[in-house]
């Protein structure tokens, strides 16, 4: 081989290395800023029109549902038909949700204020999600026939779980979401097993179906907005990254019976931007409130109970038990 | 339901929960059965309780309509000596057992007794549905285990796994209620739409 040929080969090899190296770097990718990325996936979810089959597996259980989603200006409409478990159809118009149970002819109508919360929070730069999670790009994949970017949200401490997210390449729509425990094992997975984007979904038809409550008894959860201070509760110390998002009063437990003192149950909600924790406080009842401690409800959800004098606290959330314990230990009765 | 005073509602609530002191049972039951509005409340409490615990626990059929039909049939039944009520316990089929009823010689409180029997039949049916759901729909999960969590210096009580393969540990219905409440109001996550909302809509919760 001539010297010229060898030089040519050397240059070619170097070029291949450089180009290959770049390609590799691209496959790992550089993660965009966290808030910008969250806004993108959020906007994708709002603006995309799609139908699909959504599958959730958690704690050895699996459930699936058929989804229709359409966006009409500022209005978002969604229909979720369960394919497993109790037959039910859930319709959502923005934050209005109604769940139909055809077997019992009962429909539950409710408002989920949390659904409208995040775009503004992310826009306002008031979000501290970036202080507690890091976004990492970990490559590409194919999900339900679509090319997807894969990202990982890595928790900065042990008070929260991490997430792995598959986001459709063109739109940013989340195709698959895994919740990972502190050792990186998958606790829960939610994914589209089949998805069709930009299909004709009729806003009018979904609206009519949602409004068709004839023959159903409509139940509206008896919820009153309140605040923890009014209810006599405070947290001695905040749990890192978790901010109070709202506080509600619910009717006393049905199971409380005549022995219950008629006190309502308080639900105080906290979020770190990705994970949510609810603190429930109700009057202590020795007949029902027997076991203090943590319970693994399967998947990412845990609960923890603790007696505080005449009160019984139950903390529920998609967080490690250690976090629930931090809430339970910090909870204090002020009056 | 609003027309009932709060005391009456409390009594109905206690009856639904099986918490009524024995001494008051007869009196409350008589009052309940004498008032269709109370019966309606009694039924509504069952449905509300069941739906809150889990939509799966809600009665799978129109049980009030069933009771009305049964009452009509009872009224049409010819008078026969003796009272025989048989309840099949074929719960495996998930069907509420057919009820065969022969009416006995009429007595002074016949209408009241009929209501009592209806209440009994319906309670049995509801109990059947509840028990069936609790015992047969517990999904597989590795057996109950206790595990201590030592990842932090803060002492943490042992973690109990809620559901078991053999169904040897019945779930706490109150915890299920609170889980449902958490799912309803809890989704404060930037990943909420669509993943979080669809997750909660699709997944009712762990093993029932």
For residue range A245-302, list pLDDT tens digits in order. 889 998 765 444 444 455 689 999 998 888 999 999 999 988 888 888 888 878 898 9
The answer to whether the CB of A209 falls within 8 A of the CB of A82 is no
Tens digit of pLDDT for each residue in A16-75?
A: 444 444 443 345 578 888 888 988 988 888 888 999 999 999 888 889 999 999 988 778
Predicted confidence at residue A255, as pLDDT, reads 47
- Whole-complex ipTM: 0.77
A183-188 mean pLDDT = 92
Half-sphere exposure of A196 (CA within 13 A, CB side): 7
Nearest to A296 by CA among A276, A317, A267, A266: A317
A142-156 mean pLDDT = 95
Predicted confidence at residue A3, as pLDDT, reads 52
β-bridge partners, A194: A53
Chain B residues whose beta carbon lies within 8 Å of the beta carbon of residue A103:
58, 60-61
pLDDT band at B109 (very low <50, low <70, confident <90, very high): very low
Percentage of residues in chain A with pLDDT exceeding 90?
Answer: 54
Higher pLDDT, A266 or B98: A266
B189-207 mean pLDDT = 67
Question: Is A106 a residue whose pLDDT tops 80?
Answer: yes
B88-92 mean pLDDT = 36
The answer to whether the CB of A250 falls within 8 A of the CB of A223 is yes
- Give me the residue from B45, B49, B193 closest to A42, CB to CB: B193
Q: What is the rounded distance in angstroms from the CA atom of residue B181 to the CA atom of residue A167? A: 29
Question: Is B81 a residue whose pLDDT tops 50?
Answer: no
**B47:A104 CB<8 A:** yes
Which one of B40, B178, B208 would you mutate to disrupt binding with A, by most A Cβ within 10 Å of its Cβ? B178
**B184:A276 CB<8 A:** no
**Lowest mean pLDDT: which of A26-35, A229-238, B62-71, B136-145?**
B136-145
Helix axes B63-76, B36-53, angle to 10 degrees: 140
Q: Does B151 touch chain A (CB under 8 A)?
A: yes
**B45:A190 CB<8 A:** no
Question: Is A86 a residue whose pLDDT tops 80?
Answer: yes
**A269:B56 CB<8 A:** no
Q: What is the rounded distance in angstroms from the CA atom of residue A61 to the CA atom of residue B3? A: 43
Q: Within the 105-124 window of chain B, which residues sit less than 8 Å (CB to CB) from chain A? A: none
B42-69 mean pLDDT = 66
pLDDT band at A124 (very low <50, low <70, confident <90, very high): low
User: From edge to edge, which strands make up the β-sheet containing B159-161?
Assistant: A224-225, A243-250, A265-271, A276-283, A311-317, A302-308, A293-296, B159-161, B146-147
Eight-state DSSP code of residue A94: T
Predicted confidence at residue B165, as pLDDT, reads 37
**B178:A316 CB<8 A:** yes
Predicted confidence at residue B62, as pLDDT, reads 57
Tens digit of pLDDT for each residue in A193-218?
A: 999 998 888 888 999 999 999 999 99
Mean of the per-residue pLDDT values of chain B? 59
Question: Is A123 a residue whose pLDDT tops 50?
Answer: yes
pLDDT band at B192 (very low <50, low <70, confident <90, very high): low
A67-90 mean pLDDT = 89
Structure tokens at A231: 């209810």
Predicted confidence at residue B155, as pLDDT, reads 57
Question: Is B49 a residue whose pLDDT tops 90?
Answer: no
The answer to whether the CB of B144 falls within 8 A of the CB of B160 is yes
Predicted confidence at residue A135, as pLDDT, reads 94
Question: Is A309 a residue whose pLDDT tops 60?
Answer: yes
Question: Is B140 a residue whose pLDDT tops 50?
Answer: no
Predicted confidence at residue A81, as pLDDT, reads 93
Which one of B60, B185, B200, B208 would you mutate to disrupt binding with A, by most A Cβ within 10 Å of its Cβ? B185
**B181:A278 CB<8 A:** yes
Distance from CA of A263 to the nearest CA of B (A): 13
Predicted confidence at residue B57, as pLDDT, reads 55
Question: Is B177 a residue whose pLDDT tops 90?
Answer: no
Which of A120-124, A183-187, A262-266 is the most confident on average?
A183-187
Distances (CA, A) of A234 to A41, A268, A271, A331, B62: 35, 10, 16, 6, 45
Percentage of residues in chain B with pLDDT exceeding 70?
Answer: 38
Own/partner contacts of A162-165, CB < 8 Å, gap of 24 or more, are A162/A133, A163/A274, A163/B191, A164/A138, A165/A41, A165/B191
């Amino acid at each position: 081989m001539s010297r010229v040929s060898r030089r040519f080969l050397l240059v070619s090899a170097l070029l291949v290395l450089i180009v290959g190296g770049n390609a590799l770097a691209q496959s790992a990718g550089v993660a965009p800023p966290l808030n910008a990325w969250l806004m993108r996936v959020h906007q994708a979810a709002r603006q995309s029109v799609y139908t699909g089959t959504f599958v959730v597996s958690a704690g050895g259980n699996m459930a699936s549902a058929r989804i229709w989603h359409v966006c009409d200006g500022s209005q978002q409409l969604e229909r979720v038909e369960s394919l497993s478990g109790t037959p039910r159809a859930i319709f959502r118009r923005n934050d209005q949700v109604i769940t139909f149970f055809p077997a019992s002819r009962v429909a539950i109508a409710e408002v989920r204020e949390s659904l409208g919360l995040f775009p503004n929070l992310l826009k306002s730069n008031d979000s501290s999600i970036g202080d507690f999670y890091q976004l990492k790009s970990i490559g590409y994949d194919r999900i339900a026939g679509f090319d997807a970017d894969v990202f990982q949200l890595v928790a900065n401490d042990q008070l929260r779980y991490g997430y792995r997210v598959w986001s459709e390449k063109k739109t940013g729509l989340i195709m698959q979401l895994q919740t990972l425990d502190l050792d990186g094992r998958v606790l829960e997975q939610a994914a589209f097993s089949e998805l069709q984007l930009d299909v004709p979904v009729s806003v009018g038809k979904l609206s009519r179906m949602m409004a068709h409550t004839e023959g159903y008894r409509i139940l509206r959860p008896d919820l009153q907005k309140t605040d923890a201070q009014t209810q006599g509760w405070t947290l001695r110390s905040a749990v890192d990254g978790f901010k109070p998002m709202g506080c509600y009063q619910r009717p006393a437990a049905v199971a409380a019976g005549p022995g219950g003192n008629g006190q309502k149950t308080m639900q105080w909600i906290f979020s770190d931007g990705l994970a949510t924790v609810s603190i429930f406080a109700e009057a202590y009842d020795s007949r029902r409130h027997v076991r203090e401690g943590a319970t693994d409800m399967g998947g990412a959800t845990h609960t923890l109970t603790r007696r505080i004098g005449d009160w019984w606290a139950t903390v529920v959330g998609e967080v490690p038990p250690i976090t629930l314990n931090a809430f339970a230990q910090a909870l204090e009765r002020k009056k | 339901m609003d027309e009932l005073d709060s005391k009456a509602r409390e009594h109905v609530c206690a009856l639904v929960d099986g918490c009524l002191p024995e001494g008051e049972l007869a009196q409350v039951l008589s009052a309940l059965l004498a008032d269709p509005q109370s019966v309606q409340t009694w039924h509504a409490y069952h449905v509300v309780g069941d739906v809150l615990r889990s939509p799966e626990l809600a009665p799978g059929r129109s049980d009030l309509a069933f009771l009305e039909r049964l009452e009509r049939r009872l009224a049409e039944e010819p008078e026969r000596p003796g009272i025989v009520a048989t309840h099949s316990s074929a719960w495996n089929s998930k069907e509420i057992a057919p009820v065969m009823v022969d009416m006995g010689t009429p007595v002074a409180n016949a209408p009241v007794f009929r209501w009592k029997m209806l209440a009994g039949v319906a309670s049995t049916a509801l109990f059947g549905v509840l028990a069936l759901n609790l015992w047969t729909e517990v999904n597989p999960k590795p057996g109950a285990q206790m595990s201590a969590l030592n990842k932090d210096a803060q002492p943490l009580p042992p973690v109990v796994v809620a559901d078991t393969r053999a169904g040897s540990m019945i779930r706490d219905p109150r915890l299920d209620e609170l889980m449902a409440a958490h799912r309803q109001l809890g989704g404060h996550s930037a990943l909420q739409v669509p993943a979080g909302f669809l997750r909660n809509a699709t997944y009712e919760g762990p093993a029932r």
